[in-house]
Amino acid sequence: MDELDLLKRDWKKTEDDFPKLSYNDIYKMILKKSSSIVKWIFIISLLEFGLWLIISFALKDNKSMERFKTYDADLILIPLTVIGYVVLAYFFYLFYKNYRTISVTDNAKVLMENILKTRRSVKHYVAFNLIYLAVSVVLVMFIQFDQDEQFIAQIQQASADGELVKYYVIVILTTMAFLAIAIGVLLLFYWLVYGILLGRLNKNYRELKKLEF
């Protein structure tokens, strides 16, 4: 006899071994909150959108940003701000649309794909923000070198001391280090949070995909 048929015979016999939950037991259960990964992805995604919004507002009130407003840089600053908000709105719409399509009654593969798609829209948003951050920092640096009195004075001083190259190298390296730390912290966050949340889903999705070949 086939091993599985032997198992099937026993499987049916052991049905009565399960505890019988009462109407009230089930009622209590439906009042409790879910701890599914979809709920966590939703919460974490909202936090990510929130985080970038807070960062953009915090930068706005920053003193050096106030100084930046006095420069002749509207041509750069306004498009940058507009792009930032348009992209935020677009990604938020995409995220919400994908989130709404997640349904536990779809087949296993479609369900997994929809969850991964929702997660991906947030991932792309964060990637956009990192690129946006890097581009902004570079642009700000150029404008400051060109227009900021403090920077111009420092450049002149460095030039007079014959250390202009050293000055540029220090400023550029410091900026790059700041960017690298910011990106590093975010990547670590992703690796930890999504590794824990989606490890199982990814593994099972790969297994299902493997069956297609």
CB 186 within 8 A of CB 130: yes
Which of 72, 74, 105, 160 touches another protein by CB under 8 A? Answer: 105
x/- site string to another protein, residues 19 to 58, per CB under 8 A? xxxxx--xx-xx-xxxxxxx-x------------------
Q: Which is nearer to another protein, 19 or 162 (CB)?
A: 19
Binding segment (CB under 8 A) for another protein, from list 44-52, 110-118, 122-130, 136-144: 110-118
| Residue 18 contacts another protein per CB under 8 A | yes
Closest by CA to 194, choosing from 111, 98, 126, 96, is 126
| Residue 63 contacts another protein per CB under 8 A | no
Distances (CA, A) of 79 to 27, 104, 128, 190: 54, 41, 15, 29
CB 164 within 8 A of CB 155: yes
Output the six-digit token pair for 24.
């009230």
Distance CA 137, CA 16 (A): 67
Q: Which is nearer to another protein, 29 or 160 (CB)?
A: 29
Output the six-digit token pair for 202.
């990814």
Positions in the binding site for another protein (CB under 8 A): 2-4, 6-8, 10-11, 13-15, 17-23, 26-27, 29-30, 32-38, 40, 103-112, 115, 197, 200-201, 203-204, 207-208, 211-212
